[in-house]
Amino acid sequence: MVYPIELSNEELALKAIQMRRDIVEMTCSAGSGHPGGSLSSVEILVTLYNTVLKHDPDNVKWEDRDRMIFCKCHITPAIYSILARTGYFSPEDLMTFRKLGSDLQGHPSRFHPRGIEMSGGSLGQNLSVATGVALGLKHQKKLNRVFALSSEGDLQEGQSWEAVMSAAHFKLGNLCLFVDYNKLQIDGYVEDVMGIHPLDEKFKAFNWNVQVIDGHKFDEIRDAIKNAIAFEGGPSVIIANTIKGKGISFMENEAGWHGKAPCGEDMEKAIEELKHEESLLTTK
């Protein structure tokens, strides 16, 4: 299948529930991983991979594809889930996450699994990669777009701001950055660890086109992307206010779930909550 495709918000919501189930089941099976920030990014990834990005899982080197560069690369449960659910590999392989010999390791590699544009792990590096890719495409006069997904941890790194400055200098209207702004990291509240507020004003000062949205509302995500694509004067950033651990009541807004797997009774409760959400959507 070649994407993008047309989907309703209800169809996207069902896909989001499936992704959340993948995330909790994968991390529980592995006994490790990063569920909190994976859960906060679900609606962004579901929208991008299904309804926005030009990509073909059967032709990963398609020259006309859009590029998706992950800056927050520790959210591999979400990355692998969206790749599997859009056809890059079998969803059955998700349960090999972090297992010895599996392609689905804790941080992504551009060599495996299929669909990963750039390896990652160290925070702050891959926005530079996204900027370079966008610049290269612009020089080649190609119409491909570059999307990137960043975190607060990335934006605490100086290299990210060098990339932000460069993207504006070269007027990269083909670059759109999402910031999954859930305001928590492994050590607690971002503003207590290394504050980045006010994020919107910082990007404006660097001459970016700035939008601030609710990162869990499909209409707001769709509209922001349309606005970013329509803006040709330079790079765009969509600051998506999100909730760490979104969709699992006891995980929401809890920094402790940044890198801890939900197992046992926690796993059972999480799946029960997701089944309930699914039943509410399918019985409307």
> Tens of pLDDT along the chain (284 residues)?
999 999 999 999 999 999 999 999 999 999 999 999 999 999 999 999 999 999 999 999 999 999 999 999 999 999 999 999 999 999 999 999 999 999 999 999 999 999 999 999 889 999 999 999 999 999 999 999 999 999 999 999 999 999 999 999 999 999 999 999 999 999 999 999 999 999 999 999 999 999 999 999 999 999 999 999 999 999 999 999 999 999 999 999 999 999 999 999 999 999 999 999 999 999 86
Within a domain: 1:
no
- Lookup: tokens for 170: 């070269």
Within a domain: 2:
no
Within a domain: 3:
no
Cis peptide upstream of residue 4 (ω within 30 degrees of 0): yes
* Global confidence as pTM: 0.97
Any idea which residue has 């050590």 for tokens? 187
Report the residue count for the chain: 284
DSSP reduced 3-state for 189: strand
**What DSSP string runs through 24-63?**
HHHHHHHT---HHHHHHTHHHHHHIIIII--B-TT-TT-T
Within a domain: 83:
yes
Which amino acid makes up residue 79?
A: I
Question: Which domain does 101 fall in, by range?
Answer: 9-282
Q: For the chain, what is the domain count?
A: 1
Q: pLDDT by residue (tens digit) across 233-248?
A: 999 999 999 999 999 9
Within a domain: 75:
yes
Within a domain: 4:
no
Q: pLDDT by residue (tens digit) across 167-222?
A: 999 999 999 999 999 999 999 999 999 999 999 999 999 999 999 999 999 999 99
Contacts of residue 163, Cβ cutoff 8 Å, sequence gap at least 6? 127, 128, 130, 131
**What DSSP string runs through 202-226?**
HHHHTT-EEEEEETT-HHHHHHHHH
Q: Which CATH number do you get for residue 154?
A: 3.40.50.970
Within a domain: 253:
yes
Which amino acid makes up residue 52?
A: V
DSSP reduced 3-state for 97: coil
Residue burial 128-148, b: 16+ Cβ < 10 Å; e: rest: bbbbbbbbebbeeeeebbbbb
